[in-house]
């Protein structure tokens, strides 16, 4: 099975790679730290990535940026970061990748806890997360050729506490290793249209 992992060099992506690498042919893609690059805010970049990769059995997205800041301080331009990257970027991975995914393959996208458990400064990220969850649920009933689609919604990772911990006071972190196993469930399981929540 050929598995394309986008955001493979990131904190979460590297754990997904480690969890899957002994059982699948892994194709690692990132914005700059891999042999194949992609900018998910660019449809042309996504198309070029798929042309290079060719046919695959599963697509995993552990990519997508968002701006953290109070609503009263967020400009439309800052909000566009989440719209263009985490939301539209991941949706476009599906829209442009359908023809490359083999029959009965899968897409697994990434959301996050903020759409269900808000924090100060997290509205833009929550908006993108909620949009992805809604897209996955609706797209699941229309996906062609038995292709499945799910999303994974983790809380803050233990490995991200140093960087983001001050925003997530009172949240119990989970390890990237534990979260990675849920992507395996999405790839190898039979469910579709699911939001796998890891708290």
pLDDT tens-digit profile of 139-150? 999 999 999 999
| Domain total of the chain | 1
Which pLDDT score is estimated for 32? Answer: 87
Which pLDDT score is estimated for 165? Answer: 86
Which pLDDT score is estimated for 148? Answer: 98
Which pLDDT score is estimated for 123? Answer: 98
Q: For position 16, which CATH number holds?
A: 3.40.50.720
pLDDT tens-digit profile of 11-43? 999 999 999 999 999 999 999 888 999 999 999
What is the DSSP code string of the chain? -EEEEETTTSHHHHHHHHHHTTTSEEEEEESSSSSEE--TT-HHHHHHHHHHH-SEEEEEE---------GGG--HHHHHHIIIIIIHHHHHHHHHHGGGEEEEEEEEEE--GGGTS--TT-HHHHHHHHHHHHHHHHHTTT-GGG-EEEEEEE--BGGGHHHHGGGSTTPPPB-HHHHHHHHHHHHHS---S-EEEE-
* pLDDT over 90 at 135, yes or no: yes
Which pLDDT score is estimated for 134? Answer: 98
What is the pTM for the complete model shown?
Answer: 0.96
Which pLDDT score is estimated for 178? Answer: 96
- In the chain, pLDDT over 90 holds for what percent of residues? 95
pLDDT tens-digit profile of 159-197? 999 988 899 999 999 999 999 999 999 999 999 999 999
Which pLDDT score is estimated for 49? Answer: 98
pLDDT tens-digit profile of 58-107? 999 999 999 999 999 999 999 999 999 999 999 999 999 999 999 999 99
Which pLDDT score is estimated for 83? Answer: 98
> 144 is in which domain, residue-wise?
2-198
């Amino acid at each position: 099975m050929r598995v394309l992992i986008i955001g493979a060099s990131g904190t979460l992506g590297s754990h997904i790679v480690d969890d899957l690498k002994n059982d699948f042919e892994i194709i690692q893609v990132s914005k700059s730290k891999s042999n194949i690059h992609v900018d998910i805010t660019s449809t042309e970049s996504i198309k070029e990535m798929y042309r290079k990769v060719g046919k695959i059995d599963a697509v995993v997205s552990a990519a997508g940026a968002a701006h953290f800041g109070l609503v009263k301080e967020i400009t439309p331009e800052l909000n566009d970061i989440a719209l263009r990257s985490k939301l539209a970027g991941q949706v476009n991975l599906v829209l442009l990748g359908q023809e490359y995914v083999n029959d009965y393959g899968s897409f697994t996208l990434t959301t996050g806890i903020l759409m269900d458990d808000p924090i100060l400064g997290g509205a833009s990220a929550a908006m993108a997360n909620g949009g992805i969850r809604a897209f996955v649920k609706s797209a699941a009933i229309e996906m062609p050729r038995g292709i499945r689609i799910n999303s994974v919604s983790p809380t803050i990772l233990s490995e991200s506490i140093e960087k983001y911990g001050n925003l997530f006071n009172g949240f119990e972190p989970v390890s990237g290793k534990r979260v990675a196993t849920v992507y395996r469930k999405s790839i190898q399981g039979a469910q579709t249209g699911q939001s796998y929540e890891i708290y």
